[in-house]
Amino acid sequence: MTRPLRLATAALTASAALLLTSCGSDDKSSGNDDKIAGAEQGGGKSSASPSESPAENSGRPKTKLPSDLTMTFESPQTSDPVKKAVLTDNAERMRAVNAAITGTDPKSEGIAFYNTGKALEASATWVAKFKDAGLSLTGEIRYYDRQVTLKDEKTATLAFCADEGKGYTKKKSTEKVNKTPVTKNSYVAYNTQLIKNSEGTWQTSQIFSTRGAAQCQP
């Protein structure tokens, strides 16, 4: 994932104790990324939605994750169908990055579908870093405090937090999981920009992140 996203700037090595996932993001990160865990905590007006997925659409790729990686998205209560669509496509974007990293989407079809512009470039770079380091992802990651702002009919921003305290990297060749303690840097703030394309998909065009952000701490 992305992420553009903090993922693009993190230095991945096999000895790294923990690296963010997602989940996989691929944007800029301001802080030390020598470890990353995964779990999120939502506000009182949010509801957990681990199965949040886009409406059945013939043109949409099916995003699958390995059984040992869970991504949960807490969505704010809203009746606005446009905001719901933004939240859904963002969740699929985050899943798509991690699916490419873990190998359940080896052709990165989801990344190309849910990203564009700088976010697409950053996502591809992030996935390549994991591949070069021989690393995959495992554990749990939750996303919370997801707030959508609609700029116009085709542009929106989405800010959210990620708790990576239970998300880890693992060596593909040995399946060894790199576990590290939870610290303030396990919590990441994301700010993303999305554009609705001609097919109706809200693609992430830019994504920025701040590791250890105060507003995301438990």
Q: H or E segment at 196?
A: strand 187-196
Q: What is the pTM of this model?
A: 0.77
Which one-letter amino acid corresponds to residue 129? K
Query: Environment class of residue 161 by beta-carbon count within 10 Å: exposed (0-12), middle (13-18) or buried (19+)?
Result: buried
Closest CA to 137 of 44, 27, 7, 47: 7
Question: Mind listing the pLDDT tens digit of every residue in the chain (218 residues)?
Answer: 433 333 333 333 322 333 443 333 444 443 333 333 222 222 333 334 444 444 445 588 989 999 999 999 998 999 999 999 999 999 999 999 999 999 999 999 999 999 999 999 999 999 999 999 999 999 999 999 999 999 999 999 999 999 999 999 999 999 999 998 999 999 999 999 999 999 999 999 999 999 999 999 99
